[in-house]
Amino acid sequence: MKFIPVEESKDYPWYTLFYRNGHLLILSLVILMVAGLSALSALPRLEDPRIDTRNALVITAYPGASAARVEALVSDVIEDELREIYEIKEVKSTSRAGISVINIETQDWIDNSSNEQLFSEIRDSINAVAETFPEGVAAPVFDEKRGATAFTLLLSLSAEYPENTPLTLVGRLAEELTDRLRNVNGTELVRIYGAPEEEISVSISPQKLAATGLTLQQVSRVIQAADPKLPAGVLDTKRNNLRFSVAEGLDGIATIAAIPLINQQGRYLRVDDIADVTRGYTTPRADIALVDGEEVIFVAARMQTSLRADVWTQNALAVVDQFNQDFKGTVTAHTTFEQNKYTGKRLADLSENLVMGCAVVMLVIFLFMGFRASWIVGLALPLCAAFALFSLNFYNEQIHQMSIFGMIIAIGLLIDNAIVITDEIRINLQDPALTRVGAMAKSVSHLFAPLLASTLTTVLGFMPIFLLNGNIGDFVGPIAISVVMALIGSLFISLTIIAALAARFLPKGAQSGSVAVKSWWQVGLQAPNLSHSFSLQLGRWIRQPWWVIPIVLVFCLSGFILSGTLANVFFPSADRDQFEVYLWTKDGSSITHTQAAAIEADAIIRQRSGVEQVSWLVGGSAPSVYYNQIMTRDNLPNFANAVVTTETVAHASQLIATLQSTLDEQMPNVQVVVRAFGQGPPIAAPVEVEIFGPDLEVLNELGQQVRYLISEVPGVSQSIASITIGEPELKVKADSDTLSYLGMSLSDLATQMQVNFSGLAGGSVLESTEEIPVKVRLSADFREDVSGLGAMPLPVENAQMWSTLSAISSLTLAPAISSITRQDGERVNRVQAFLLPGVPAVDASNALREKLAQQLSLPQGYRIHLAGDADEQQQALGQLGTYAPVLLVLMITTLILTFSSLRMAGVIALVAILSVGLGMFSLWLSGLPVGFNPLLGCAGLIGVAINGSIVVIAAINANPKAKQGDTREIVKETMGCSRHILSTTFTTVGGLVPLLLFSEGSFWPPLAVVLAGGVGFSVILSLVFTPTVVAAFQRYRYRVSR
């Protein structure tokens, strides 16, 4: 860099140091670029923002208990304890036969920095309340690892030769692979799905057992007694310590089969004389995994957010490859899902849009300002981007689609300051009375207040998004973080580095020459005739404010009215080559029946062209492959969840549109929902009605009425209710007198039946590090056949005899409550509706609200609440509205302090409102739906669109004649700002053009349309409306003062 002399004797402002000290200027450039590059290489890369963990499940098994008993003895007790913790926002419970599932949602302000302490408190509370549970209730399982986060890698293990390799062995090897993946650096969580629980079954024949006079309890105790795993003490000698070991524990099937028994007559026999001892797995199984119709075991792994997905995935796949080599010929681990592929593609697409946006911005700057000025201004792009990237470290953010989209929005915004300061220095350099450093000092001094004001107002416009908390804040907040940090960096960099470069390298005085004789590529495109014509017309408009102002107002405000005719969605569906399928069989169905239905649906799906893979989990929610996939269904034998992967995004869209009707037609006996993955925070169903009340039968009846009304809403595919009466239940009616005669009570009968059907623990077998339980129970012939129930033998106390179940009771089949759901201690029937593709969820909710208001009559003590997308949208808008008034006051305060005028601040506030109308008008022209994304765009648009008006008002205030309302001078100052305004407008719009033209799907375009359209149309407000209104105010004020 050549030496440029400066006048050291003068006292220049501090920011001129970047001009006067070339080393400082060069080092500043180097530091910024190095910081940006280091952040780019070190920051984690994810597909979507990681939503902090604010949800957890408490799962408690109570085998054999009805839903009502589970509610009263387990769910209600845990809920009462949890509701005393004020950090918990909501407690939802589902009580089903044999199990309680409680979903905990924390307050929105809880994040990953504070949730571990809260979860520790919740664990302590659950462990304390578990001591009060009745006998037979298992220890509660607290699971806080089901946050809104996808697994990074999903593997499916299958045997090479299934006919010769038992599934339990595949399960053992799945555990081995799990251990290896946990050892990969940066692994956060590894889980197994679809693995059977291995056990050794002692299946006893009831007839043979009755002949011996023994009971199941006695046989179980004998087997347990033959399993000495307790320590037998230590002999301490003078030289050694000798540990005692009493025989060997159970070491296999043969050992268990040979255990001696003594019958009532004192004769000896062995276990295998009355039972079959086999190795297998527990039935019924908790869940079953399928890939393309074949049974597998899933191993799902998730990495920590502090790592890059590509690096962790490479290390994990190396471990998988080694595992496949070690167990070649036995099992193979196939990659079912790899998030890194989606992360790489998503970031590559957005990065391409970012680069194209930068190219468009540079082209616009070149056309408006010429070559020399364009490279100076263009240097602001990498510098501000580097500053913004480096600042992400301080917010624990990652590089993902939201942070990159924030950069795309910021392209056109951050360049504004650089354009204005460079153009102002170019003008001042033409003054021969000013030195270069003097031109820089004058330009920065003149523009510091308006640039600071415009930057602050833009930052304040994005602050509602910046300050959002909860899941919605985690999702969209990174957009605002990127924009705000880029703008802050832009202000500092433009007033220092860019200003210094402009003062050094732009031509000065005679060097600049006449604009008319220079080529367009040196000074930018010039249109003197067009400028002259517009200035004349602007003068006419300023003199006739009574018709100009109403026309502009009507045009802007029409956007609010016209946008009301658009469809309304909370967040659009994701643009992805995957989608979900939910399948429900009838209440009370076994998991094997549901598996058969899933296999049938799988065959139908895989017949369609474009389907690449179908993975199922029967019995619960499938392992998440997308960040907002719901994983709250557990131990549901009548439920199956599939993830369908297609060849392209287009194939997925086509299948979602047609597959629902196909499955409904070919599988009428089950409920099937085909659902696209959504954007935004996780939502269980797009339309949801919560019915609160005390009585289960009334709740069931109201739920059926609501489902009928839902079926009348256009676009609804299926609906389900959380409380229904229809699950089959066998009721045992026993006479107390008869039982008393036999020395039994109703409690004894229930206990014996529980033992007969569920079995008893009979010790365990240790194999290496695995402990295999031994289960003693009646043979499957009696446990799995309804016709044989009456012949089930029951031991009679203190008598050498047995009785049968049919002799002391009668069996009837009756419908029962399938599940009982509660919310914050109050019973609620949650009716969920799913929609066909393209049906706006918020519009469907509004249509349902009208039907409920007109046709549903609620008994006293009952109430309803509409949840789903509409409710989430209202909550999110409520959060935005919480901060909006304060930030609006701060914005107006900034403007009042900048212009020392309440009127001018009022003009800017009016421009802000009208710019939103222009953004909504642009959305109406595009035909895209209204939703949370466009509303986010409006929040940011307010701060962006007023910048041009701020520059115009600042220029008018700097001219004494214009300040008095002189039309010619106002036109002169407005035209002097037109180059700034047009260039910044075109750069802002140009930065968003690639996103509008080349981005796939429907997520980004609505937001980009509002921003680009609102900023583009705001030229009318900056160059026409603002000078006209200001002139009218100033003329009136001047006349009054005279």
So what's the pLDDT on residue 625? 92
Q: Judging by DSSP bridges, how do beta strands 770-778 and 198-204 pair with one another?
A: parallel
Confidence of residue 612 (pLDDT cuts 50, 70, 90): very high
In the predicted model, is pLDDT for residue 1 greater than 60? no
Domain that holds residue 902: 527-572+869-1042
**Three-state DSSP class for 322?**
helix
Do 658 and 741 lie in one domain? The reply is no
Give mean pLDDT, residues 95-123: 91
Do 897 and 1036 lie in one domain? The reply is yes
976 with 1022: CB under 8 angstroms? Answer: no
* Chain segment 257-311, per-residue pLDDT in tens: 888 888 777 788 888 888 888 888 888 899 999 999 999 999 999 998 888 888 9
Residues 6+ apart with CB under 8 A from 813: 728, 729, 730, 731
CATH number of the domain residue 251 falls in: 3.30.2090.10
In the predicted model, is pLDDT for residue 246 greater than 80? no
In the predicted model, is pLDDT for residue 432 greater than 60? yes
Largest pairwise CA distance in the chain: 126
* One-character DSSP codes across 527-550: -HHHHHHHHHHHHHHHH-HHHHHH
Number of domains in the chain: 5
Give mean pLDDT, residues 789-806: 70
Do 761 and 712 lie in one domain? The reply is no
* Chain segment 183-193, per-residue pLDDT in tens: 999 999 999 99
Query: Per DSSP, what are the bridge partners of residue 671?
Result: 584
In the predicted model, is pLDDT for residue 867 greater than 70? yes
Helix 380-391 with 470-493: angle, nearest 10 deg: 140
**Three-state DSSP class for 577?**
coil
Do 709 and 645 lie in one domain? The reply is no
617 with 287: CB under 8 angstroms? Answer: yes
In the predicted model, is pLDDT for residue 744 greater than 90? no
Look at residue 140 and tell me if it is in a domain.
Answer: no
541 with 550: CB under 8 angstroms? Answer: no
What's the token pair of residue 123?
Answer: 């664990």
Other beta carbons less than 10 A from residue 418's beta carbon: 31
Nearest alpha-carbon partner for 910 in 892, 925, 893, 884: 892
Angle value at C-alpha 661, between 655 and 666, nearest 5 degrees: 110
**Three-state DSSP class for 361?**
helix
Residue with tokens 């009502």: 68
Which of 479, 509, 539 finishes a domain? 509
Look at residue 839 and tell me if it is in a domain.
Answer: yes
Residues 6+ apart with CB under 8 A from 1008: 937, 992, 995, 996, 999
So what's the pLDDT on residue 248? 63
Confidence of residue 516 (pLDDT cuts 50, 70, 90): very low
Do 630 and 738 lie in one domain? The reply is no
So what's the pLDDT on residue 1041? 53
Residues 6+ apart with CB under 8 A from 676: 573, 574, 576, 579, 580, 652, 653, 656, 837
Nearest alpha-carbon partner for 58 in 33, 31, 86, 83: 83
The C-alpha atoms of residue 717 and residue 664 are separated, in whole angstroms, by: 9
In the predicted model, is pLDDT for residue 66 greater than 90? no
Look at residue 611 and tell me if it is in a domain.
Answer: yes
Confidence of residue 182 (pLDDT cuts 50, 70, 90): very high
Look at residue 267 and tell me if it is in a domain.
Answer: yes
Residues 6+ apart with CB under 8 A from 653: 676, 837
The C-alpha atoms of residue 480 and residue 469 are separated, in whole angstroms, by: 13
Look at residue 313 and tell me if it is in a domain.
Answer: no
* One-character DSSP codes across 114-180: THHHHHHHHHHHHHHHHTTSPTTPPPPEEE---SS---SEEEEEEESSTTTS-HHHHHHHHHHHHHH
Nearest alpha-carbon partner for 840 in 877, 878, 873: 873
Give mean pLDDT, residues 709-718: 92
So what's the pLDDT on residue 1000? 63
CATH number of the domain residue 880 falls in: 1.20.1640.10
Instruction: Report the percent of the chain where pLDDT is more than 70.
Output: 94
Look at residue 325 and tell me if it is in a domain.
Answer: no
Identify the residue with better confidence: 812 or 388. 388
DSSP class of residue 305 equals: T
So what's the pLDDT on residue 180? 95
So what's the pLDDT on residue 798? 53
Nearest alpha-carbon partner for 573 in 685, 718, 680, 659: 680
In the predicted model, is pLDDT for residue 531 greater than 60? yes
Look at residue 915 and tell me if it is in a domain.
Answer: yes
**290 membership: H or E segment, kind and range:** strand 288-291
Do 666 and 546 lie in one domain? The reply is no
Confidence of residue 949 (pLDDT cuts 50, 70, 90): confident
Angle value at C-alpha 852, between 851 and 855, nearest 5 degrees: 75
In the predicted model, is pLDDT for residue 518 greater than 60? no
Instruction: Report the percent of the chain where pLDDT is more than 90.
Output: 35
Residue with tokens 């496949």: 324
Look at residue 441 and tell me if it is in a domain.
Answer: yes
Could you check whether the bond before residue 284 is cis, i.e. omega within 30 degrees of 0? yes
Do 775 and 633 lie in one domain? The reply is no
Do 973 and 1008 lie in one domain? The reply is yes
Do 1037 and 907 lie in one domain? The reply is yes
In the predicted model, is pLDDT for residue 827 greater than 90? yes
In the predicted model, is pLDDT for residue 770 greater than 80? no
Confidence of residue 522 (pLDDT cuts 50, 70, 90): low
Query: Per DSSP, what are the bridge partners of residue 810?
Result: 733
Nearest alpha-carbon partner for 846 in 564, 479, 428, 528: 564
686 with 844: CB under 8 angstroms? Answer: yes
Do 922 and 1034 lie in one domain? The reply is yes
Do 212 and 273 lie in one domain? The reply is yes
Residues 6+ apart with CB under 8 A from 266: none
Do 669 and 545 lie in one domain? The reply is no
So what's the pLDDT on residue 794? 76
